[in-house]
Structure 1
Amino acid sequence: FTRKGAGMRIETLGFAYGSEEAEAIAREIGRRAAHGAAWHDIAVIYRQNRLSRAIEEAFIKARVPFEIVGDVGFWQRLAVKDALALLSLSASPEDRQSDEAFRRVANKPARGLGAKSLGEIEIAAQREGTSLLGAVPHTKLSPKCGAALSRFVQTIRASGRREPESVGERLSWLLEATGYLPALRADDSDEAANQRENLAELISLAHDFAEIGQIME
């Protein structure tokens, strides 16, 4: 409870879209700053961490300085970075520039790929002059790991052969086909629920793009 007594009345505003809400918040903060309010005296409290994405982008656009407390920025969240790695890998599976993306998601969910197996793939990639994904068929792996990685490679390559679609549709398919989203659904922790919400937000955003490179910028 509070001890300061009555203060200003709470003002409630409604918006049709999250982007409109975020832009209005940025404008209001700018107005208050122009009237002498200090940036550090203003806070935005959001109910779910996925909701921060539109607010972050509106603040950047409006040049409102901000610090996220008790969380990380939308684009730095684990599931979002994993999803973008899957997109990057599907866009250029044979390119060595996709190797970091392969390292990030090849064992998500777990496919038995440990440090030693990854090292073997690295050696094969150097020997064959190909990407890490392209080196999987040329690497001697345990039966379980080899079979799981072969399915992963086939899924990534199959994504590039699908009919033209939005980036959101491709991402949604990748997350399902690679087992990433099913693994999160099987996890009833709050962290898994937050990651699912972040992925839903990313997929919704990605539907507005026709090319993967646009969302990766």
Structure 2
Amino acid sequence: MSAIDYSKWDRLQSSSDEEDLGNPIPPQSPRRPVTIGPFAVADPWAQADPQVRREVIKEEKILQKFVRQHPCPSQKALRDWLRRMSDAPAKSSEPQPTFTWVMKDMGWRSEHLAWFHYPSFRELWDAAALPTAEAFPVQRKAGSTLYERGGKGCMQFNFYALQHAMCGEDFDTDAPLPVYSYAKHIEHVWDGIGSWRA
């Protein structure tokens, strides 16, 4: 009796991976122009009360320090994590919604994993280490790229994946409060990109 040739299984497995994270599914909503909405301001706190401005700068420094100490996970680590989240059952009893829960709630399945775009994801992660005004064009560019790839759904997918990865789900568990509010900042920066509204 001859030995079993597992090489075909390896090719089958890798082609399945390519299907999951290959070409993104097309946008489900009509295309809209990329504009700059009223909430998309490079430095929204520039004219704020000095006390408020000091607090904002203090929080920015905490976020910047966190990102310098916690570089963006590798593409492979993130893809493996997304596959696990896609395959795991959503538990409604969890104190904080997991990315698995978000996927189920949004109706995303394994084919939606193709919306993940590591270059844009990494740009958003790394931009958190920049001063707000410098980060703004990087964040806008990443949002526009995601919109071109798969519309608002693609933007939402990467937005929630970033939030969950940065705030500790399977990557780090001691994220300070400014890390949690980074997603709200991105939400405003992206205002006006296609159908995205803050």
In the superposition, the TM-score normalised over structure 2's length comes to 0.29
Greater radius of gyration (CA): 1
In the superposition, the TM-score normalised over structure 1's length comes to 0.27
